[in-house]
Chains A and B, each alone.
Chain A
Amino acid sequence: GAVVSQHPSWVICKSGTSVKIECRSLDFQATTMFWYRQFPKQSLMLMATSNEGSKATYEQGVEKDKFLINHASLTLSTLTVTSAHPEDSSFYICSASRRGYEQYFGPGTRLTVT
């Protein structure tokens, strides 16, 4: 199966600082990457969809100025949480897809904002 990595796997930051999370497809070229947020005991909530070289498409209610997404290449997408606050603490998961078929997920990043 396809392999997707995320870095870091967990991060603790202070309120007001920014945090960058990387998502890489290791063995295939991803035409589309997705970013999800997951709260405890809940399902995945799609935050945004990004295509290589294009601006990300954000879901309703997701602040595009707070959650900056860059899809620089067919194997790398980054999510930057700007001016993080404790309510941004969550489990962030990326996925990668080729040609709109099944999505392969990364292992997730646990963000804690103190």
Chain B
Amino acid sequence: EDQVTQSPEALRLQEGESSSLNCSYTVSGLRGLFWYRQDPGKGPEFLFTLYSAGEEKEKERLKATLTKKESFLHITAPKPEDSATYLCAVQAALSSNTGKLIFGQGTTLQVKP
């Protein structure tokens, strides 16, 4: 069964304290892995798509990496405005026609000033 597990469930950081969020996945043929940011009461905001092991993408203080079993979202010197829930999702090769995503439960990040 295709599955996505994110850890930790919640993370509290001081401003400037770098850390990483983990997304472990089991899927029958990975077509793509996606990271989203969701603020309370809003829809998820697209951050990154990773397609193959070894791929890395960066955006401001965020960097996403991918291996054959997991993905990391590295946050460098976070600021309070980075506080949000970060969602990881995978798309299986068999679902490529529909584009269906399998979501993890998310990691809620709180950055204190």
Contact = CB atoms under 8 A, between A and B. Distances in A.
Interface residues of B, number: 22
A106 to B, nearest CB: 5
Contacts of B43: 4, 6, 93, 95, 105-108
Interface residues of A, number: 25
Nearest to A106: B43
B98 A110 contact: no
User: What DSSP secondary structure best describes chain A's contact surface?
Assistant: strand
A102 B98 contact: no
Contacts of B42: 107-108
Nearest to B91: A100
The 7 lowest CB-CB distance pairs between A and B, nearest first, are A105-B43, A100-B99, A97-B99, A108-B43, A105-B44, A43-B105, A93-B43
